[in-house]
Amino acid sequence: MPDLTRLHAHEMAALLRKGEISSRDLTAAHLAAAERQNHALNAWLVIDRQKALAQADTADARIAEARRGGAAALANLHPMCGVPVGLKDLVSVKGGQATAGSKILKGYIAPFDSTVTVRLRSVGAVFIGKTNMDEFAMGSSTEHSAYGPTANPWDLTRVPGGSSGGSAAAVASFHAPVSIGTDTGGSIRQPASLCGIVGLKPTYGRVSRFGIVAFASSLDQIGPLARDARDAAILLHAVSGRDPRDATSAPEPVPAELLSLLPGDDEAAAYVKGKRLALPREYFVDGMEPGVAARVREAVAAMEAAGARVEEVSLPHTDYGLATYYIIAPAECSSNLARFDGVRFGHSDRTSGEYTSDYLRTRGAGFGPEVKRRIMLGTYALSAGYYDAYYLKAQKVRTLIKADFDAVWAAGFDAICAPTSPTVAFPLGARMDDPVSMYLSDACTLPVNMAGLPGMSIPAGLSDGLPVGLQLIGAPWRELSMLRLARGYEAVTARAPWRDLDPADLHLTDDPTTPSPIERSERQKRAATGLRDQA
C-alpha cells in the first residue's frame, strides 16, 4: 500500500469503495503529517483531530452500508465521501472558528454552517481543519495574516502566495488532497501557481457565498485547490449549485461529467486536438521573469504539438485591470467591513464606555495595516464628490474588460492561455514595504474576476527550481471544458520529469528544529531594523 497522503482524491475514492482502505486510516495519516509539519509551514490555524476522526468514522459507516446495498448504492456515493479536505479560515463551520486571518474575529465561533460546509458534509467529506490566509483575503502572500505568515514547501524562505496560501501549502505538502480557497483577484490561482498545484476559480455565481466572510461581494468566489484536474473537478461538483440563501447564486446546472473527467491519458490527450486557444500578448507583462514566460510558452507549445491551434490575440483593456480592481475591491471592502463595530461579534474594546471612541479603538486594534489601507482607499473612492470620478468610472472600465473577453468567445476560441503569476514565489518580507509591488503579483489574474469568468492555474514546470503556473481562462459556465483541457495538458506532459518532484524543502518540515515562518519573519524584521539603525 503506498503512502496514503500521496494518493489523489479520486484514487482514494476508488480504494474506499473497494474496502482496501478506510477513511479513518486516510484521515489519521493526513492529520499526522499536518501536525508534524505545521510548525515549519504555519499552513493550518486549526487542526481538529477529534472531529475529523469522528467524521471519518461516519464516512466509513456510510460506505459500508452502501457496499451492502450493492454496486448501484456504491456508485451513488459522491467521490468526496471519506476524503479529507482543508477549509480556508473564512468558511463558517458551526461551532468552530472563522477568523478570516484577523484579530478582530479572534474568539468568534460560527453559529451556523456555510453552504459550502453543508454540501461537503452532505457528501461525507472529512474536515481536517482551517487553513491560514491573508487577513480578510487581502493580500498575495499570506504575510498579512494576524497569525503569522505561511511558508512555501518548495522553499521555506519564500511565500506560498495568497490569500489562500495556507490552503495551497497544505495541499502541496500532502496534508490534504484537496482544500477550499476563495478568489477575489487571483487568491486561488496565484498561490496554486506558486505552490505547484491546481487551483480553480469558478464562474461568479457557480458556488454559493453564503457563510463565507466577505471581502468584495461582486468579485469573491469559492473554489477548489487540488493536485490534479480530476480532483479539482470532484470538489467543484460537491460545492456547486444554486442556493436560495445567496442572491448572486446562479441557477446553472452542475455538470455530472465533472465526476468522470477523462480518466484515461490517451482519451484526455485526444481532447486537446482541434481546440482553438488564444494567447493574449498583454499578459506577458513588463517585469515578468524570463523563466516564467519560457515555461508558459513551452506549455502552450506542448498543447499545440498535441493538435491544438494557438493564435495570438489582444485584450486591449488588460492594462487597466489593476487600477480598476484597486478601486472596486477596496470600495466593496469598506462597505462589507463596516459591520465589525465591536458590538455584535468579534473583538471589542469598551474601555472608554463611549460608543464612538470604543468603535475606533476596536477597529484600530482589530484590523491590520493592509486592511486599514484598503478601507481608507475604498471609503475615499465612495465619498461625496469622488464616487463618479473613481468608483463609477471603474465600473465602466470593468465593462470594457469584460467586452474584451466576450470578443474572444465570439471569435470561436475554446479557451485563453496565459501566465498565472509574472514571477515565481518571492522571499518572505520582500514586498511587505512596497504595496504596489505586492499588488502587481495579481496582474495576470485580476481581469478574470472583473469579468466574472472561470479561470484556473495548472502546474507548467519549474523556473530556478520553483513552480510556474499556466492559467486557463474559459467562457462563462464552461468549467467542464476548461477542466478537460487541463486534464489533456496533464496527459500530454505526464512523463515530464518535473511532475515526479516533491517540494524541495518539504523534508525540512519533519525536523522540529526548523524555524517557523513566524520566527523567520521576526528575524528578518530585526535584521532590517538593525540595518536601518546602522544607516
pLDDT at position 131: 98
Distance CA(535)–CA(524), nearest Å, equals 17
Confidence (pLDDT) at 436: 84
Q: Which of 232, 504, 103, 154 is nearest to 165 (CA)?
A: 154
What was the pLDDT predicted at 342?
87
DSSP string over 3-44: -GGGS-HHHHHHHHHHTSS-HHHHHHHHHHHHHHHHHHH--E
CA–centroid distance for 255 within its chain: 22
Among 159, 87, 142, smallest CA distance to 116 is for 87
Q: What is the per-residue pLDDT for 286?
A: 82
φ/ψ of 327, rounded to 5, equals -105, -50
- Which residue out of 179, 187, 240, 249 is catalytically annotated? 187
Check if 88 is active-site. yes
Give residue 1's pLDDT: 65
Instruction: Tell me if 258 sits within 8 A of 206, measured CB to CB.
Output: no
d(CA 425, CA 141): 9
Profile the chain (535 residues) by mean pLDDT over runs of 10 residues: 92 96 98 98 98 98 96 96 98 98 96 98 98 97 97 97 97 98 98 98 98 96 98 98 97 96 94 98 91 98 98 96 95 95 86 87 94 96 90 96 98 98 95 87 95 98 98 98 98 96 97 93 72 62
Residue 10 sits at φ, ψ, to 5 deg, of -70, -30
Give yes or no for a contact between 94 and 24, defined as CB atoms under 8 angstroms apart: no
Summarised one tens digit per residue, pLDDT across range 431-451 is 988 888 898 889 999 999 999
Residues 133, 135, 136, 137, CA torsion sign: negative
At residue 225, φ and ψ (nearest 5 deg) are -120, 135
Calculate the alpha carbon distances from 141 to 87, 137, 179 in Å. 18, 10, 17
Let me know if 402 is a catalytic residue. Answer: no
Choice among 92, 163, 348, 457 that is catalytic: 163
Length of the chain: 535
| Domains along the chain with CATH numbers | 4-254+264-320+398-510 (3.90.1300.10)
Please, how many CA atoms are within 13 Å of residue 349, restricted to the half-sphere of its CB?
A: 15
Contact 167, 152 (CB under 8 A): no
**Dihedral sign of CA atoms 246, 249, 254, 258 in order:** negative
Report the pLDDT value the prediction gives residue 533, as an integer from 0 to 100: 64
Q: What is the pLDDT of residue 43?
A: 98
DSSP for 245-279 reads: T-TT---PPPPGGGGS---SHHHHHHHHTT-EEEE
* DSSP secondary structure, 457-510, as one string: EEEEEEETTEEEEEEEE--TT-HHHHHHHHHHHHHHTTT-GGGGPPPTTGGGGG
pTM of the full predicted structure?
0.96
- What lies within 8 Å, CB to CB, of 160 at 6+ separation is 43, 141, 142, 150, 151, 152, 153, 166, 168, 169, 172, 191, 194, 195, 425
Q: Residue 163 catalytic?
A: yes
With a CB cutoff of 8 Å and minimum separation 6, the contacts of 534 are: none
Q: What is the pLDDT of residue 375?
A: 96
Count of Cβ atoms closer than 10 Å to residue 311 Cβ: 10
